[in-house]
Amino acid sequence: MTMNRSWVLDSYPEGPARADNFRLVENPVPQPGPGQILVRTLWLSMDPYMRGRISPAKNYTAGVRPGETMHGGGVGEVIASNHPGWQVGELVESMNLGWQEYAVIAPDQGGTAAANRVHPDAPPQAALSWLGMPGLTAYIGLFEIGRPKPGDTVVVSAASGAVGQIAGQIAKLMGARVVAVASSDDKLDYCRSIGFDAGINYRTAPDLAAAVADACPEGVDFFFDNTGGLIHDAVLANLANFARVAIVGRIAVIDKPASEDIGLRSSARLVVTRATVQGLVVFDWWHRRDEAFARLLKWHRQGHLQFREDVLEGIETAPEAFLRMMSGRNHGKQLVRL
């Protein structure tokens, strides 16, 4: 009998996640019931939201309890189907695969995040990056929250990451001047190669707020915040009048308890600048996928959208890939190929 290897959460992390918080187990391959499909995983996506799923703290959706399979999206091939809309051999993208080699999915349960066909005109793993959740996040952040006008200054933190690199390129297409914030000069060089106008290495800048002020002399019109923490404080201290801020991720502080996630109080600056701050959870905008993906695919075909991936091989590397992404050691979208 073929076995299914999967990673379960062994314990909740205290502080940064560690490899021993996860445990590899083997079980028989599950069988699909009525209205379900059996999927063999080809690609796994590693995303910062997963850190929130392995905490006992309340989040916007249910998390993973110890002993349960790790949550996560991926791309796989349908190898058995009891669903009239899905045929054996089709490729499916789903948020419900988890860290495992085989998964049973109910396409009619869980909304459009449950099962989507992979676009035939792009590599399958693109459904996990520029033509998937990161692409939709960047698209909504720019067109619904940021709305930069030509000549506006846009700052993107974690700029070389899965979402940041797309957000910066969309901002350039909208006519903005775009500043990258990243953790190394190599990552900033990559950002410049795809169109960013300037960059800030937050690990080497002696005064981060001053570095933002120097890179954005007229202030920041839109801040695409993927990190939180000290970068958030430095940029909010440099907002222009009527600036917009999208709070997309908080990877810089996600390992800290709420009592330690304290930075510069920005309320006075928000009053002075009359700025707007809005949180962005991409699942609220899932209904805009077709619109967003049509434009992203067009830009990619035209050569306006480039993308870098960081790939590890084999289900065994899933925790390593996750920890690599969480510590910022990845270069581009972190993926695992099975």
Residues 8 and 137 in one domain: no
Do 21 and 124 lie in one domain? The reply is: yes
Closest CA to 224 of 191, 194, 248: 248
User: What is the spatial distance between Cα 99 and Cα 28, in angstroms, rounded to a whole number?
Assistant: 15
- 19-28, 117-126, 238-247, 264-273: which range is least confident on average? 264-273
Query: How far is the C-alpha of 188 from the C-alpha of 186, rounded, in Å?
Result: 5
CATH of the domain at 182: 3.40.50.720
- pLDDT at residue 165 greater than cutoff 70: yes
Judge whether 46 lies within some domain. yes
Asked if 13 and 144 sit in the same domain, the reply is no
Number of helices and strands (H, E) in the chain?
9, 15
Beta pairing, strands 74-81 & 37-45? antiparallel
Q: Are 95 and 105 in contact (CB under 8 A)?
A: no
- pTM score of the predicted model: 0.91
For residue 66, is pLDDT > 80? yes
Contact, 134 vs 162, CB < 8 A? yes
Asked if 107 and 83 count as a contact pair (C-beta separation under 8 A), the reply is yes
C-alpha R_g of the chain: 20
Instruction: Answer yes or no: is pLDDT of 266 > 80.
Output: no
Does the pLDDT value for residue 186 go beyond 70? yes
Identify the domain containing residue 65 by its residue range: 3-129+308-337
Query: Per residue in 216-246, pLDDT tens?
Result: 999 999 999 999 999 999 999 999 999 999 9
Q: Token match 């933190």: residue? A: 157
Please name the residues in contact with 136: beta carbons below 8 A apart, sequence gap of 6 or more: 282, 285, 286, 288, 289, 292, 293
In a domain, 291, yes or no: no
Name the β-bridge partners of 313.
Answer: 337
- Nearest Cα to 101, choosing from 22, 32, 30, 1? 30
On whether residue 107 sits in a domain, the answer given is yes
Residues 73 and 17 grouped into a single domain: yes
302: left (phi over 0), alpha (psi -120 to 50) or beta: alpha
What distance in Å separates the CA atoms of residue 253 and residue 232, rounded to the nearest whole number? Answer: 11
Phi and psi angles of residue 144, each rounded to the nearest 5 degrees, phi first: -100, -35
Residue 188 included in any domain: yes
Does some domain include residue 294? no
Specify the 3-state DSSP secondary structure of 105. Answer: strand
Same domain, 50 and 140: no
Q: Could you report the per-residue pLDDT of 268-289, keeping only the tens digit for each? A: 889 999 999 999 999 899 999 9
Using a pLDDT cut of 90, give the percent of the chain over it: 81
pLDDT reported for residue 1: 60
How far is the first Cα of the chain from the last one, in angstroms, to the nearest whole number?
Answer: 19
What's the structural domain count of the chain? 2
For Cα atoms 239, 213, 134, give the angle at the middle one, nearest 5 degrees. Answer: 60
Query: Do residues 308 and 333 touch, judged by C-beta distance below 8 A?
Result: yes
Q: Is the pLDDT of residue 61 over 70?
A: no
pLDDT at residue 337 above 90? yes
Model confidence at 187, pLDDT cuts 50, 70, 90, reads very high
Q: Is residue 237 part of a domain?
A: yes
pLDDT of residue 59: 64
pLDDT for residue 256 is more than 90: no
C-alpha dihedral sign at 129, 132, 137, 143 = positive
Let me know whether 84 and 26 are in one domain: yes
CATH code for the domain of 48: 3.90.180.10
Q: What is the pLDDT of residue 253?
A: 73
Structural domain includes residue 198: yes
Query: Do residue 318 and residue 269 come from a single domain?
Result: no
153-157 and 37-45 strand pairing: unpaired
What is the rounded average pLDDT of the residues 257-274? Answer: 79
- Judge if 68 and 87 occupy the same domain: yes
Angle at Cα 156 formed by Cα 169 and Cα 263, nearest 5°?
170
Give, for 293, the enclosing helix (H) or strand (E): helix 289-301
Euclidean distance between CA atoms 69 and 77, whole angstroms: 20
**169 and 89, same domain (yes or no):** no
Residue type, 190: Y
Rounded Cα distance, 224 and 210, in Å: 19
Same domain, 56 and 114: yes
Q: Which helix (H) or strand (E) holds 326?
A: helix 318-326
User: Residue 295 falls within a domain, yes or no?
Assistant: no
In the predicted model, what is the mean pLDDT of the chain? 93
Task: Please tell me the distance from the alpha carbon of residue 251 to that of residue 49, in angstroms, as a whole number.
Answer: 9
User: Domain check: are 149 and 269 in the same one?
Assistant: yes
